[in-house]
Structure 1
Amino acid sequence: MSYTLTVVVPVYNEEDNLLRVEQVFNDYFKIAAVPTQVLFVNDGSKDKSQELIEIICARSKGFEFISFAKNCGLSAAIKAGFDYTKTSLVGYIDSDLQTTPEDFNVLYPYIKDYDLVTGHRADRKDSFVKNMSSTIANKIRRAFTNDGMDDTGCPLKIIKTDYAQRIPMFRGLHRFLPAMIMLQNGKTVQVPIRHFPRIAGTAKFGLWNRLLGPLMDCFAYLWMKNKYINYEVAKKSDA
């Protein structure tokens, strides 16, 4: 089957969620706006995640995986997913399923006119502390990047693959995807999507790495922005 969209699903110790991911995506494949497949990226999980991933990929069509030799972090998992994508579009969703694959159908119509479409969790189902720390972190990031995004950490995105694969790698990358597309003179837009409470597994980010991490990463982004090389080929010789 020829696919149009590859959805990257980073996994780190999510054994309690993976069978639900399989079920939800098998349901979504039937209504997807375009032919869609899933690429699990196992970020060195220490539980039974890899065992479950291999079972899912063996029995369900449309699922593939790569597995890291050791834990490298969410940004590395997302970047690896982008690098291994072969379709023209690449998406991203967290394995905790606090967002739903169904909302890729909400994002998809916009990708014709934009190079990145990201969800905006307008009605987040998280704790007060988590919501407040994310709000503060987003304000800090916007002050540095001027990307105009209210919820850059939303784990539901569609990106044109050629743009995604040109994003340079650094820790904290997942917080700056819209800004990194804009560095390529790409167009970005945010679209309201649904959000749900986490019902299994544990969150991988706490108060301090939601606040201090983004602040430190902003300085890394500014350095990269000043050094970033962006060129456009106007003409080349015939092969």
Structure 2
Amino acid sequence: MSEFTIIIPLYNEVENLLQLEYALLDYIPKSSKTVSILFVNDGSTDGSEKLLGEICKRNRNFHSISFQKNKGLSTALKAGFDWVQSPYLGYMDGDLQTHPEDFNLLLEYCGEYDLVTGIRENRNDTFVKIFSSKIANSIRRLFTQDGIKDTGCPLKVIKTSYAKQIPMFKGLHRFLPAMVLLQKGKIHQIPVRHFPRMKGKRKFGLSNRLFGPLTACFVFLWMKQNYIYYEIKKKE
């Protein structure tokens, strides 16, 4: 069994898949831990499923699961969390705006911390995307008080035992650090590189970057008040 599984949710990213495959193959020998790859195909309609099958067939420790229809990023992550058996899991998008090599920066701290998340330096996005992301982050921090500067950064490493205890709901991908904190976990933030999207189309616009997070914030508040957490003192 691998020590570290990288979960890659994707939707209609067929144009990026071969380059993503090469980037992952380049990273795996350099990783500080043994690596498995899990693609979660979120109901793509552009041929991604067929190409993923070919990629997984020719690469050892590459795996994929495909949804019948598009269910959203939080559902894709939930499926990945359920599938993973390695002690650590990572998460990155399939658009290559972050690079798998930067996982080593995060893995350096995964022994001491339960979740390590990236902070995108010098973001290569449109003004609207950067501006809306900053507003959404500010709103989310106001609700969660988790101190996370860039919750939307798709480069994260989580101890699998913590990830599997996260009660998932729609939009929860924006609250992973906050949910680890509810488990009394420790979190660390690391600057990572950010690259422009070269191919494919972005999946989040102004409406689901601002209004979606606001709705999810109220769900999180309910979850925070009702979350069940316990520590076992003794077993006989």
TM range (shorter): over 0.9
Q: Tell me the alpha carbon deviations over residues 36-95 of structure 1, each in whole angstroms, 9 at most, x when there is no partner.
A: 111000111111000000000000122101111221100000111011001000000000
Partners of 2:70 and 2:76 lie apart in 1 by: 9
Partners of 2:178 and 2:122 lie apart in 1 by: 23
Aligned residue in 1 for 2:117 = 118
Aligned residue in 2 for 1:76 = 75
Q: Structure 2: state its 5+ residue gaps.
A: none
Partners of 1:191 and 1:230 lie apart in 2 by: 27
**2:234 is aligned with what amino acid?**
K
Aligned residue in 1 for 2:106 = 107
Aligned residue in 1 for 2:205 = 206
Q: Tell me the alpha carbon deviations over residues 117-165 of structure 1, each in whole angstroms, 9 at most, x when there is no partner.
A: 0000021000111000000000000000011001001000000000000
Q: Tell me the alpha carbon deviations over residues 90-122 of structure 1, each in whole angstroms, 9 at most, x when there is no partner.
A: 000000010000000111111111000000002
Aligned residue in 2 for 1:93 = 92
SS of equivalent to 1:112: coil
Aligned length: 236
Aligned residue in 2 for 1:190 = 189
Partners of 2:135 and 2:61 lie apart in 1 by: 38
**2:54 is aligned with what amino acid?**
I
Aligned residue in 1 for 2:52 = 53
Partners of 1:100 and 1:108 lie apart in 2 by: 14
SS of equivalent to 1:9: strand
Shift of 1:21: 1.0
Check if 1:6 corresponds to 2:5.
yes
Partners of 1:180 and 1:20 lie apart in 2 by: 33
Q: Tell me the alpha carbon deviations over residues 184-221 of structure 1, each in whole angstroms, 9 at most, x when there is no partner.
A: 00011110000000001100000111111111100000
Aligned residue in 1 for 2:161 = 162
Aligned residue in 1 for 2:227 = 228
**2:173 is aligned with what amino acid?**
H
TM-score normalized by structure 2? 0.99
Q: Tell me the alpha carbon deviations over residues 2-57 of structure 1, each in whole angstroms, 9 at most, x when there is no partner.
A: 31100000011111011111111011011111111110001111110000000000
Shift of 1:234: 1.0
Task: After the TM superposition, list the runs of 4 or more consecutive aligned residues in structure 1 that deviate by more than 6 angstroms.
Answer: none
Aligned residue in 2 for 1:180 = 179
**1:147 is aligned with what amino acid?**
D
SS of equivalent to 2:14: coil
Partners of 1:81 and 1:19 lie apart in 2 by: 21
RMSD: 0.7
Check if 1:145 corresponds to 2:160.
no
Partners of 2:13 and 2:55 lie apart in 1 by: 14
Partners of 1:26 and 1:122 lie apart in 2 by: 24
TM-score normalized by structure 1? 0.97
Partners of 1:223 and 1:42 lie apart in 2 by: 30
**1:74 is aligned with what amino acid?**
L
SS of equivalent to 1:220: helix
- % identical equivalent positions: 58
Check if 1:29 corresponds to 2:28.
yes
Partners of 2:98 and 2:49 lie apart in 1 by: 22
Partners of 2:163 and 2:68 lie apart in 1 by: 23
Q: Structure 1: state its 5+ residue gaps.
A: none
Partners of 1:29 and 1:86 lie apart in 2 by: 18
Partners of 2:213 and 2:188 lie apart in 1 by: 21
